[in-house]
């Protein structure tokens, strides 16, 4: 073994020890609060993206030095750009492997040609890279923007459509890829605490599916805890992180920090310091395959959107301001929150449903004194209930819940308000110093506004019914419909 190979061996052992230490302390390869920009180390002088083993090494070096710069280059490359590596800066040793050599040959006509020939023994070399924070004169780093959570549905649907095997969402608490069926099973996306947890889990299981014999053909373990199983999980987790980063998503590690997982990973790495290099290389292949399929499907979906007019939110123009409610937890909303469009309508639906639920509870208890004091402002088109004279909606009285649609519930409630005003017209005329005739005209105008608003909302509800589509792609399977109970060959998270 020459000096270069000895250095590569030492560096691999050093990185492996560092990863094992992280696993023992953090319960994960990735530390909490990981900066997602560091997941794509690249060379700004030639556009090279560092892959596999070098990628992991540079990522962890940047994290350990508290750097926020993903740019790396050699001393010479910095000089050629007119930049200068700071005195005392510590570089990171990376490795380069040559698997082919160029051989000159002559073709049938005697012309010299160059062919590539596979080396019997790959040639390894090392080189040192310096981080952008250690270089004077380098331009300021342009920060990348992470994908907003509102875009996740498009990403999730595109990933599912791009999958090379069937994906099913089902009412269960676990996610797994079943090799015997070549199918992925996932919990319903609404059961995840955060939208991106579903995305990370989806990518993790799609990574497993690439190991099928018709794709990348990886060996798989037969049961949890064996060495091949641990290796496959390591590859799926690494590729999930790489793929999330390539999609500009914030990092969300998917492996549960279960002691059995951690122990199996630690044992695999202790047995062979070269395993992290092989795992990283495989993870890059997995991620590249997933991204290529994703991009192709993304183009198709974007073309569909171009050719087909986008559906407009039928509830646009609807604005609700929730002032306060004693049913804060049931409605799931903070005081003084403004809601628009579909979200505003969904809020009003909750109000109607809660009134019905509370009303039924009160009747069962032979009591009608329990209700939730609630106050909100409603605006649609020209109509606005502005609460200059505060109106309290007592949820539990049954005024809203006696109706099947939001439009009819609001019409009833607002007309009740007009009737209450009319019953107290002497008080209001005195307070505002107006005649009963003027007061009557005001009530008539309000009544016309309410009628106009209700018709507007009814038409929006009708448009919404026509636009309704299934919320998920793939099948939704409920437990009693699951035929197979096979568990031993599942690749679970």
* Beta carbons of 373 and 449 less than 8 angstroms apart: no
Residue 185: the pLDDT is 94
Check: CB of residue 396 under 8 Å from CB of residue 372.
Answer: yes
Quick one: CA torsion of 218, 224, 228, 230, rounded to 10 degrees?
100
Assign 3-class secondary structure to 244-287: HHHCCCCCCCCCCCCHHHHHHHHHHHHHCCCHHHHHHHHHHHHH
Q: Are β-strands 318-325 and 372-380 bridged in parallel, bridged antiparallel, or unpaired?
A: antiparallel
For the segment 69-85, what is each residue's pLDDT rounded down to a tens digit? 999 999 999 999 999 99
Tens-digit pLDDT profile for residues 84-138: 999 999 999 999 988 888 888 888 888 888 888 888 888 889 999 999 999 999 9
Q: Looking at per-residue confidence, does 338 or 83 come out higher?
A: 83
Q: Are strands 92-106 and 112-131 parallel, antiparallel or unpaired?
A: antiparallel
* Buried/exposed 68-99: b ≥16 CB within 10 Å, e otherwise: ebbbbbbbebbeeeebebeeeeebbbbbeeee
* Per-residue CA distances from 49 to 7, 65, 76, 95 (Å): 23, 20, 18, 14
Spatial separation of the C-alpha atoms in residues 301 and 44, rounded to whole Å: 32
State pLDDT tens for residues 423-474: 888 888 888 788 888 888 888 888 887 888 888 888 888 877 776 654 444 5
The confidence score (pLDDT) of residue 492 equals: 39
134, exposed or middle or buried, with CB in 10 Å at 0-12, 13-18, 19+? Answer: buried
The average pLDDT across 340-369 equals 82
> Is pLDDT of 483 > 70?
no
| pLDDT at site 214 | 95
User: For 19-23, what is the mean pLDDT?
Assistant: 85
Give the closest residue to 300 by CA, choosing from 472, 157, 166, 200.
157
What does the block give as tokens for 87?
A: 């005195």
For residue 488, pLDDT over 50 is answered with no
What is the rounded distance in angstroms from the CA atom of residue 422 to the CA atom of residue 442?
10
- For position 257, what pLDDT does the model report? 44
State residue 366's pLDDT score: 65
| Phi/psi at 168 (5° precision) | -125, 130
For residues 389-398, give the mean pLDDT: 75
Q: What is the pLDDT of residue 312?
A: 67
pLDDT at 476 over 60: no
- Strand order across the beta sheet in which 92-106 lies: 72-73, 112-131, 92-106
Burial 421-444, CB ≥16 within 10 A → b, else e: beeeeeebbeeeeeeeeebeebee
| Position 486 confidence tier, pLDDT thresholds 50, 70, 90 | very low
Beta-carbon contacts of 129 under 8 Å, excluding residues fewer than 6 positions away, are 43, 58, 72, 73, 74, 91, 92, 94
Using pLDDT thresholds of 50, 70 and 90, give the confidence band for residue 252. Answer: low
To the question of pTM greater than 0.75 for the whole model, the response is no
pLDDT level of residue 150 (50, 70, 90 thresholds): low
Mean local confidence (pLDDT), 271-293: 94
Contact criterion met (CB below 8 Å) for 131 and 67: yes
Number of C-beta neighbours around residue 170 at 10 A: 18
Tell me whether residue 5 is exposed, middle or buried, using C-beta atoms within 10 angstroms of its C-beta: 0 to 12, 13 to 18, 19 or more: middle
* Structural tokens at position 267: 């044992």
Average pLDDT of the chain is 82
Q: Do residues 452 and 381 touch, judged by C-beta distance below 8 A?
A: yes
Residue 394's φ and ψ, nearest 5 degrees, are -95, 100
């Amino acid at each position: 073994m020459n000096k270069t190979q000895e250095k590569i061996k030492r560096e691999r052992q050093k990185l492996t020890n560092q990863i094992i230490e992280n696993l023992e302390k953090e319960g994960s390869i990735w530390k909490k609060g990981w900066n997602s920009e560091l997941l794509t180390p690249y060379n700004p002088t030639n556009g090279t993206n560092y892959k596999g083993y070098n990628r992991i090494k540079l990522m962890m070096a940047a994290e350990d030095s508290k750097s926020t710069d993903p740019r790396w280059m050699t001393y010479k490359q910095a000089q050629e750009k007119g930049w200068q590596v700071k005195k005392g800066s510590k570089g990171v040793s990376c490795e380069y492997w040559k698997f082919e050599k160029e051989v000159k040959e002559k073709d049938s006509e005697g012309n010299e040609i160059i062919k590539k020939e596979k080396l019997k023994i790959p040639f390894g070399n090392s080189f040192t890279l310096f981080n952008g924070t250690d270089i004077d004169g380098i331009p300021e780093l342009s920060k990348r923007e992470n994908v907003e959570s509102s875009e996740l549905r498009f990403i999730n649907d595109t990933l599912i459509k791009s999958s090379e095997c069937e994906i099913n969402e089902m009412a269960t608490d676990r996610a797994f890829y079943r090799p015997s069926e070549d199918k992925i099973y996932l919990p319903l996306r609404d059961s995840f605490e955060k939208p991106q947890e579903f995305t990370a889990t989806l990518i993790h299981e799609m990574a497993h599916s690439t190991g099928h014999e018709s794709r990348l053909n990886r060996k798989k373990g037969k049961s949890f805890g064996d060495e091949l199983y641990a290796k496959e999980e390591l590859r799926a987790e690494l590729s999930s992180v790489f793929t999330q980063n390539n999609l500009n998503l914030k990092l969300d590690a998917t492996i549960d920090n279960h002691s059995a997982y951690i122990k199996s990973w630690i044992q695999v790495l202790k047995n062979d310091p070269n395993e992290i290099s092989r795992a990283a290389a495989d993870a890059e292949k997995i991620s590249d395959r997933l991204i290529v399929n994703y991009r192709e499907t993304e183009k198709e979906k974007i073309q569909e959107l171009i050719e087909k007019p986008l559906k407009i939110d039928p509830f646009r123009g609807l604005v609700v301001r929730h002032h306060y409610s004693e049913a804060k937890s049931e409605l799931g909303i903070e005081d003084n929150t403004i809601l628009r469009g579909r979200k505003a309508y969904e809020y009003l639906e909750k109000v109607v449903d809660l009134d019905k639920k509370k009303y039924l509870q009160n009747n069962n208890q032979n009591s009608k004194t329990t209700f939730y004091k609630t106050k909100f402002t409603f605006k649609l088109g020209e109509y606005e209930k502005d609460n200059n004279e505060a109106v309290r909606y007592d949820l539990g009285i049954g005024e809203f819940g006696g109706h099947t649609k939001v439009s009819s519930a609001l019409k009833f409630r607002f007309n009740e308000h007009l009737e209450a005003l009319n019953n107290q017209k002497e008080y209001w005329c005195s307070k505002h110093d107006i005649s009963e005739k003027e007061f009557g005209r005001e009530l008539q105008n309000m009544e016309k506004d309410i009628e106009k608003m209700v018709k507007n909302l009814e038409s929006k509800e009708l448009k919404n019914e026509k636009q309704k589509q299934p919320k998920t792609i793939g099948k939704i399977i409920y437990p009693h419909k699951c035929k197979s109970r096979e568990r031993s060959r599942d690749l679970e998270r």
